[in-house]
Structure 1
């Protein structure tokens, strides 16, 4: 039997609802790795949920868009076949479409195919184990027109009238702007004013391909919001990285969320890595979804004294040439994984001659213990100092590591 890390499910949490959320699967016409990842995700879900002695089984799977690369009939039927063969017994299926489902031959045809193949409606309000699930498919790519706004507002109000203290689980493909990590470049603000009226909303969204083990993928301000990751490739919502927004090893991506609720309306969210079969070391907790003052995952997290730190670490400068070198160093420690590193190349008088920002590759469950970065564009026969500073997700910085070297 395959060895698996212990499940982080809170044994004192009396679960009455369990569902999973995933997005951005990107099944293609040709054979693709995403098919294997979806199959494994479904198999893992079945194994994880059936082996839990507290609460057996999965009540629902929600897929929030971009399950197909271009929304062709073949791609949709491949997704349907995988779901038919792998969805755990008894689980309800809720799906929305995203921008990619419209790319083959337009929105109207995509909507028709979606209904014919999955026998689902693009917008839905379902009650599962006494909890409200509202899912909205965007229009015109990732937009909410007046009809979509009216649907969202009406269904949220119905849910709130049923029980104003219970969480309302809300799903759409794009993030809500300025909420979770990824929502600056991949968010829409067209229903923010509606969601703000219902702080008990727990919103799930994709579109960005941002890692769900980034603690910023859990966000609370006016309501609770969670990013849902990807089974295809990572993208980062940062624009100062030496590699651009597509990070190294971007294809090592397969993540989703398992969500639980209890009879009192408390919620637990567990991020899971499909590639390694492990949960990430986070459990996000919402104890009073209706009470904004109880929120834990707010922007107040940026006000912290916690900093990354280097411990017994040295910089190794190797493969020195006339205009460059390779710099290797051990990763920083801290409460969370480091987010990134600033690498400064200083001249003899301490002035910055080159500055790179690189990711720590925190999005990989097996984050590498060391990083190597090639530095180029230096002057020949010149002495330099390399300075490295680790950055946290909350914009705090470590003390600097330094080393001296000279080009040939």
Structure 2
């Protein structure tokens, strides 16, 4: 349940005195959001930013992915904000009691060195209706163009449609039409499109029937080899890999030949399903033979989708014997199961959000850089009026924001083992920094206009991201739990909300509660426990 800004009770370890809690002033007509003279995207060199807003309004902004408040940095007209590194910039306009929605832009700051290849990697497109997807994909291609105006290749890594054995193969024609329209509109006439087969794509015959041959140039088994500006790309059919001796033999043979010829050039590999014991701690993986077959080749960079698991989580990159990368989802994302989320109806079991994400890969002579980019990450519940839907339409206030720091892959060493020993994203290097609560009062009690009580958690800070909060709220008189939950930190939205309001269902007036909260990151590192005693009124 989302609470409006409130006058809150003082947060301290002592029992709160009964304090009247009333809503703050709200505006019937919100301001237009600020605009930036230089939009988000990829830039070579520093970017000076200037903001524009309605006459009489002031603009406040953040550079850390959080939502600006009236206490955030004030933009001074005529003094540009200089962006010198990869940054999410979020701005809000204020005019009296009126407030605009926050608008976020992502900036990738690069040097003048030109990459060998620029590749967009996406998956789980799940298009089945032309009318619902035309505006959405126009926005997505606009975002692609803001980062790579003319990408060398776009990889759509399986599940272009949403067939469940119900004859939806012709929907591939809708995907082809939408992609071709936008490629033409954006002038991406030389961009290769390369597809892999997913479990929701009906049959290989249906894929071949509805796309240009160059998009899926297989020889019959759903796997094939391509070159993107000289960078080798091997596309797998992970629906059959474990049982296909032909495909296994082909992969190992071509990997051996390619790496012998150029041992320090990455070989990009795409396949819909993740390899076991790699990304996201092995969640939703299959094809154990694939992990075994790639283990001899540290040059392999294997991109996989299928899981819809989000790109914000740094477990989406994994290195041991080769590099495995989760490439997210273009329809909706998932988080680990077993957590709850704050919704309009209160705490609810959620592991999905209508967020779309993709990877932007730049291959250089000595490294591969992978940027994580949101196509749309506005805050919406996956359920609207009790109905599941991921069909939120543009404009998106978060299009082009970064969902995490870029990953840099290097192939350093004379032997395969030396290259593996120099990997960065390994189990031994997993993050060990715990979240930290900042501010004087990270917990407070709030009530909405109807008198409903909630525990407000000011978001903790982490060097990567806070994944969830362990929340326990206990009735002091009876010892019963009003709330006992692991609550997702909403890290998958942009901008990040500054606080979460955890509702206390059926909280009786005059009841004394003790709340205890711990912030936890994606690797299980936990903050110190903080607590609050309060009484409802």
Spell out, residue by residue over 1:175-198, the C-alpha distance to the aligned partner (whole angstroms, 9 max, x if none). Answer: 112211274234442311001011
Contact 1:175 1:227 in 2 (8 A): yes
1:42 and 1:86 in contact (8 A); partners too: yes
Match 2:162 to one of 38, 49, 69? 69
Counterpart contact for 1:327–1:373, Cα < 8 Å: yes
Residue deviations 1:48-86 (CA, integer Å, cap 9, x gap): 323xxxxxx311111100111117244101110112122
Mapped pair 1:246 → 2:246: no
Q: 1:296 to 1:238 in 2, by over 3 A?
A: farther
Which whole-Å CA distance do the structure 2 matches of 1:3 and 1:357 have between them? 40
- TM-score, normalised on structure 1? 0.86
352-361 vs 87-96, which deviates more?
352-361
Partner of 1:358: 487
Residue number in structure 2 paired with 1:105: none
For residues 269 and 196 of structure 2, the distance between their equivalents in structure 1, rounded to whole angstroms, comes to 11
Higher relative contact order (Cα pairs below 8 Å, separated by 6+ residues): 2
Aligned equivalents of 2:459, 2:335: Cα separation in 1: 19
- Contact 2:447–2:454 (CA under 8 A) maintained in structure 1: yes
Deviates further, 19-28 or 144-153: 144-153
Q: Secondary structure at the match of 1:160?
A: helix
Aligned counterpart for 2:315 among listed residues 216, 234, 238 = 216
* Paired residues for 1:2-401 under 5 Å: 3-5=38-40, 7=42, 8-11=108-111, 13-29=113-129, 31-33=131-133, 35-50=134-149, 57-70=150-163, 72-87=168-183, 88-102=188-202, 110-118=203-211, 119=213, 120=216, 121=218, 122-139=222-239, 145-181=244-280, 183-241=282-340, 243-244=348-349, 246-247=351-352, 250-251=353-354, 253-264=355-366, 266-275=367-376, 276-288=399-411, 291-302=419-430, 304-319=432-447, 325-346=453-474, 348=476, 353=481, 354-376=483-505, 382-401=511-530
In the alignment, the residues of structure 2 paired with residue 158 and residue 357 of structure 1 have an alpha-carbon distance, to the nearest angstrom, of 49
CA root-mean-square deviation = 2.9
Query: How far has the Cα of 1:3 moved from its partner?
Result: 4.5
Alignment partner of 1:391: what SS? Answer: strand
Runs of 4+ displaced beyond 6 Å:
349-352, 377-381
Please state whether the residue corresponding to 2:272 is helix, strand or coil: strand
Q: Which residue of structure 2 aligns with residue 53 of structure 1?
A: none
Unaligned 5+ residue runs, structure 1?
Answer: 51-56, 103-109
Shift, 1:125, TM fit: 0.7
- What is the CA distance between 1:153 and its match in structure 2? 2.0
Counterparts of 1:302 and 1:379, CA distance in 2: 44
